[in-house]
Amino acid sequence: MSSETTILVALLLPVLAAVSCLFFGGGLSRPNLRDIATPLIGACTFAAVWRLAGDVLAGGRPELVLFEVLPGVELAFQVEPLGLLYGLVASGLWIVTSIYAVGYMRGHHEQNQTRFFTFFALSIFAALGIAFASNLFTLFLFYEALTLLTFPLVTHHGTDEARRAGRIYLGILLFTSISFLLFAILFTWRLTGTIEFTPGGILGAETSSGMVTVLLLLYAFGAGKAALMPFHRWLPNAMVAPTPVSALLHAVAVVKAGVFAILKIVVYVFGLDLLRGSNASLTLMTIASFTMLMAAVIAIRQDNLKARLAYSTISQLAYIVLGAAMATATGILAGGMQIAMHAAGKITLFFCAGAILVATHKKKVSELDGLGRTMPWTFAAFFLASLSIIGIPPLGGSWAKWYLMVGALETGFAWQAAFLGVLMLSSLLAVFYLMPVVVRGFFAASPSAGPSGSAGGDRKPIAEAPFLCVAPLVLTALLSLALFFVAGDLASLLNF
């Protein structure tokens, strides 16, 4: 199979999954077949993306040009390291999530499961389209498609709350993408006459410094999925969606689409040389640092577990934006790594939140006292993933933090040490918003034990969520451990 066909196959397999969902779930009313088909096709998708990895590692850039949409604007794909990484993360975790989703949706007795799985698969299609886009138009096309395709997932429950959240979701994401991102793309088109992603960038050195700053901010805020403050409100609101959606889409595919777009635009539209040490870079770094700290502080104050994780995501995404804004090779490497590391960690945390919901119907951190003893696997996984998010070795997340700190000291700004401080403070804050969950789970007395019963005295039976929920979260927790040991491969892939 030529690499061209492989790209096409990787893109079309999720569509096939959607069709098979409709066919088995809707037409035949055989939900079991539907729920087996999705992970199988997911595995095939991952395999297809994996096949491209060898090529890319060897320095190849597999391409697929479908057709010309507007004169000079093609619907075209090209696999480069960042896109490959994002594609691997999205398609790989899709397999796990589609297994988890079966356990969750059935365990939680959700309605309209066929619609759910169909749009889920289509969202992955859009995510892969973003990953492999070879120009800004293709990126924008799939970016908007991802917003629209995830809308039915966010509003899945159809309640007033879901509808309101859906409004905010569409409102912010479409507002930012149309008024900032599209404008920036059109402006780039006007300035340079091209919107192809080109190594070294397409904006020439003649672009004035003010223009570069404005454009960079338009792109950074325009990629509203990156949830940079003040355009972050959609993400906590999107948490009304069923947990698998929060896990894969709002911790991995959708939010990473935003930061991935920023990384890619920094590398292939601006070019690192244009940005490094510029005012634009410093401005965006400051905004990212502000978001990072602010969101972490807000996260500490959230009692709803999913909302807390959502703010944690906003904070962690800002790491990637910070890496991109540094515009150094180390910064991009750190940003790319954080995409993978945060994905594995955060999806685990969401899986755990969902498993707790399925098993006990509890949503708040303050209700979790003592649950760790009845759900040991879930809470152990939560603990591991938390360590990865905080950035403690030997978990994957530590590498991303490490390279970010190194990168911060390479930028050459007078205040570069301040960014080091911000990163450290942010990790500290992460301890404060994640560890209480684990501590409460394992060490606090469970409320039902009564005031007299000591914490360790009564041994409650293990009452985990269904196997299909627990197995995936253990898997992803182990993945974030394993990622620590393959960081070298990632580093050689993301060598800019």
Partner 1 sequence: MIEKILVLEVVLPLLAAPVCVLVRHPRFCRLFSLGVVAACFAIAVALLVEVRGGGVISYQLGGWPPPLGIEYRVSTVNAYLLALVTSMALVVFSFDSRGGPPRVPEQRRHLYYAVFLLCISGLLGITITGDAFNIFVFLEISSLSSYILVSLGGHRRAVMSAFYYLVMGTIGGVFFMLGVGLLYQATGTLNLRDIAARLEPSLDDRGTVLALALLVVGISIKLAVFPLHHWLPNAYSFAPPKVSAFLAATATKVSFYLLAMVLFTIFGAPFVFEELRLQAVLLPLSILAMFLASSAAIFQTDLRRLLAYSSVAQIGYMTLGLSTANATGLAGGLVHLFNHAVMKGGLFLVVACLLYRVGSVHIDALAGIGRRMPLTSAALVIGGLSLIGVPGTVGFVSKWYLVSGVLERGWTAAAVLILLSSLLALVYVGKVVEVLYFRKPAETQPVDHVREAPLGMLAPAWVLAVAAVFFGLTTDWTYGVAREAAELLLAGGI
Binders in 197-256 for partner 1, by CB under 8 A: none
Residue 27 as a binder of partner 1 (CB under 8 A): the answer is no
Give the residue with the Cβ less far from partner 1, 183 or 496. Answer: 183
Q: How far is the CB of 328 from partner 1 (least distance, A)?
A: 32
Bond prior to 394 in cis (omega within 30° of 0): yes
Q: How far is residue 27 from each of residues 20, 23, 480, measured CA to CA in Å?
A: 10, 5, 39
Q: How far is the CB of 64 from partner 1 (least distance, A)?
A: 15
Give the residue with the Cβ less far from partner 1, 71 or 488. Answer: 71
Query: Could you give the maximum distance between any two Cα atoms of the chain, in Å?
Result: 77
DSSP lists the bridge partners of residue 68 as: 74
Element (H, E) at 434: helix 416-443
Q: How far is the CB of 72 from partner 1 (least distance, A)?
A: 11
Rounded to whole angstroms, how far apart are CA atoms 424 and 136? 35
Residue 174 as a binder of partner 1 (CB under 8 A): the answer is yes
Give the residue with the Cβ less far from partner 1, 178 or 471. Answer: 178
Tokens of 322: 């910070």
Binding mask 33-72 for partner 1 (x = CB under 8 A): ----------------------------------xxxxx-
Range 22-31, long-range pairs (CB < 8 A, 24+ positions): 22/114, 22/118, 25/113, 25/114, 25/117, 25/118, 26/114, 31/113, 31/114
Q: How far is the CB of 174 from partner 1 (least distance, A)?
A: 6
Give the residue with the Cβ less far from partner 1, 145 or 444. Answer: 145
Binders in 110-149 for partner 1, by CB under 8 A: 137, 140-141, 144-145, 148
Rounded to whole angstroms, how far apart are CA atoms 34 and 105? 13
Q: How far is the CB of 239 from partner 1 (least distance, A)?
A: 18
Residue 455 as a binder of partner 1 (CB under 8 A): the answer is no
* Listed ranges 37-45, 170-178, 311-319, 445-453: which one lies at the site for partner 1 (CB under 8 A): 170-178
The angle formed by the CA atoms of residues 472, 349 and 139, to the nearest 5 degrees, is 85
Binding mask 177-206 for partner 1 (x = CB under 8 A): -xx--xx--xx-xx----------------
For strand 73-78 and strand 63-70, is the pairing parallel, antiparallel, or unpaired?
antiparallel
Give the residue with the Cβ less far from partner 1, 75 or 220. Answer: 75
* Identified binder of partner 1 from the candidate list 97, 155, 313, 374, rule CB under 8 A: 155
Give the residue with the Cβ less far from partner 1, 67 or 205. Answer: 67
Residue 171 as a binder of partner 1 (CB under 8 A): the answer is yes
Nearest to 339 by CA among 270, 405, 251: 251
Give the residue with the Cβ less far from partner 1, 148 or 474. Answer: 148
Alpha helices by DSSP H, 160-277 = 160-176, 183-192, 209-222, 234-237, 243-244, 254-265, 272-275
Residue 405 as a binder of partner 1 (CB under 8 A): the answer is no
> Is the distance from CB of 324 to CB of 266 less than 8 angstroms?
yes
> Is the distance from CB of 350 to CB of 288 less than 8 angstroms?
no
Q: How far is the CB of 258 from partner 1 (least distance, A)?
A: 16
Rounded to whole angstroms, how far apart are CA atoms 128 and 254? 11
Rounded to whole angstroms, how far apart are CA atoms 251 and 473? 14
Give the residue with the Cβ less far from partner 1, 106 or 167. Answer: 167
Nearest to 340 by CA among 474, 493, 228: 493
Range 26-34, long-range pairs (CB < 8 A, 24+ positions): 26/114, 31/113, 31/114, 34/114, 34/117
> Is the distance from CB of 223 to CB of 255 less than 8 angstroms?
no
Tokens of 292: 């990072």
* Identified binder of partner 1 from the candidate list 30, 163, 364, 460, rule CB under 8 A: 163
Residue 329 as a binder of partner 1 (CB under 8 A): the answer is no
Give the residue with the Cβ less far from partner 1, 189 or 402. Answer: 189
Rounded to whole angstroms, how far apart are CA atoms 191 and 187? 6
Give the residue with the Cβ less far from partner 1, 59 or 71. Answer: 71
Size of the site for partner 1 (CB under 8 A): 28
Q: How far is the CB of 320 from partner 1 (least distance, A)?
A: 24
Residue 167 as a binder of partner 1 (CB under 8 A): the answer is yes
Residue keyed to tokens 């498609």: 145
Q: How far is the CB of 70 from partner 1 (least distance, A)?
A: 5
Residues that bind partner 1 (CB under 8 A): 67-71, 75, 137, 140-141, 144-145, 148, 155, 158, 163, 167, 170-171, 174-175, 178-179, 182-183, 186-187, 189-190
